[in-house]
Amino acid sequence: MGAVLILTPVIISTWPALATAVASAAASLGYARLEGREAPSTERSIALEIPRSEVVTDQLGRDEKLSFVREGVQVTFQRDARGRAGLSVRGSGLSEEELHAIGEAMSQRVVRDYVVARVKAEVGARHYNIVEETEDESTGIRLTVRHWEH
Amino acid sequence: MPQREFQITISPEGEVEVEIRGYKGKAACANIAALFEEMIGEVRSFQNTSEAYEPEETVRITQQH
């Protein structure tokens, strides 16, 4: 071995790239895309920010948003006024703590899926080989990447 | 042609651990760590392992008589 490093992801992304990770995360957590449909009736909502995120966009992308629904809970992702990626969670019959926990789980899954996609794209661009990929709910995703230096 | 390997673990919370294998010498390890920093984000900890303290790899040219 040569070194071990631990990193905290920083998301600096265009809206389309982030939207891909959001859609992947939502699907893996059992959410369905909410498109042009009535939002479920709600009593409470909370807002969260995806930490260390910045959505790089032009004027056209500023009002982009993506909504998902699962069991009466609606999660909406949007770029906020400061350019950060944020999400709001709404659901009737749930406490603020429960809504917050749902939002945190979704936010973490988005970060995870964004990092996986970015790592795959970067190692692919360098013609490195992903020789193994495993996924475990408790330990996360593990990628083994190899290359041979000339 | 030396083989390089990276073991990348992305935790459910989104934290990333990268084990860098096959790079000898501190400079080589630091260079590849910088690549992952650019790719993923802020380095929270960095630890060289025994391989980093081995001499840098050199190209050996053998002269034939």
pLDDT tens digits, one per residue of A69-126: 999 899 999 988 788 899 999 998 899 999 999 999 999 999 999 999 999 999 999 9
Q: Does A144 reach chain B within 8 Å, measured CB to CB?
A: yes
Q: Show which residues on chain B lie within 8 Å of chain A, measured between beta carbons.
A: 1-24, 28-29, 32-33, 36-37, 39-52
Q: Taking CB atoms and an 8 Å cutoff, what residues of chain B touch A118?
A: 39-40
At A43, is the pLDDT very low, low, confident or very high (cuts 50, 70, 90)? low
In whole angstroms, give the CA distance from residue A20 to residue A39: 22
Q: What is the DSSP string of A71-104?
A: TTEEEEEEE-TTS-EEEEEEETT--HHHHHHHHH
| Cβ distance of A52 and B42 shorter than 8 Å | yes
Nearest CA-CA distance, residue A69 and chain B, Å: 21
Kind plus residue range of the DSSP H or E element containing B9: strand B3-10
What pairs with residue A48 in β-bridges? A87
CA distance B33 to chain A (A): 7
Contact A115 B10 (CB under 8 A): yes
- Judged by CB atoms closer than 8 Å, whether chains meet at A149 and B16 is answered as no
Give residue B1's pLDDT band: very low, low, confident or very high (50, 70, 90).
low
The token pair that represents A10 in the structure block: 């920083």
Q: What does the pLDDT look like over B4-59, one tens digit per residue?
A: 999 999 998 889 999 999 988 888 888 889 999 999 999 999 998 876 666 665 53
Q: CA-CA distance, A10 to A24, in Å (whole number)? A: 18
Closest by CA to A75, choosing from A113, A101, A52, is: A101
**Chain A partners within 8 Å of B10 (Cβ):** 112, 115-116, 119, 140-143
Q: How confident is the model over A47-54, as a mean pLDDT?
A: 91
How far is the C-alpha of A114 from the C-alpha of B16, rounded, in Å?
A: 12
Tally the residues of chain B: 65
- Percent of chain A with pLDDT strictly greater than 70: 89
Cα(A28)–Cα(A114) distance, rounded to whole angstroms?
13
Confidence (pLDDT) at B59: 39
Q: What is the mean pLDDT of residues A123-141?
A: 91
d(C-alpha A47, C-alpha B30), whole Å: 39
Supply the pLDDT for residue B53. 66
CA torsion sign, B41 to B43 to B49 to B55?
positive
Quickly tell me which residue has 């996609």 as its tokens: A117
If one counts every other C-beta atom within 10 angstroms of the C-beta of residue A126, the result is 10
Residue A111 at interface with chain B, using a CB cutoff of 8 Å: yes
Residue A86: CB atoms within 10 Å: 19
B8 touches B17 (CB < 8 A):
yes
Asked if the C-beta of A8 comes within 8 angstroms of chain B's C-beta atoms, the answer is yes
Say if residue A38's pLDDT is above 60. no
Question: Would you tell me the crossing angle of helices A96-125 and B26-40 to the nearest 10 degrees?
Answer: 130
The answer, yes or no, to whether ipTM is higher than 0.90 is no
Residues 9-68 of A with CB under 8 A from B: 9-11, 52
> Taking CB atoms and an 8 Å limit, are B44 and A6 in contact across chains?
yes
Average pLDDT over residues A44-52: 91
Q: What is the pLDDT of residue B61?
A: 45
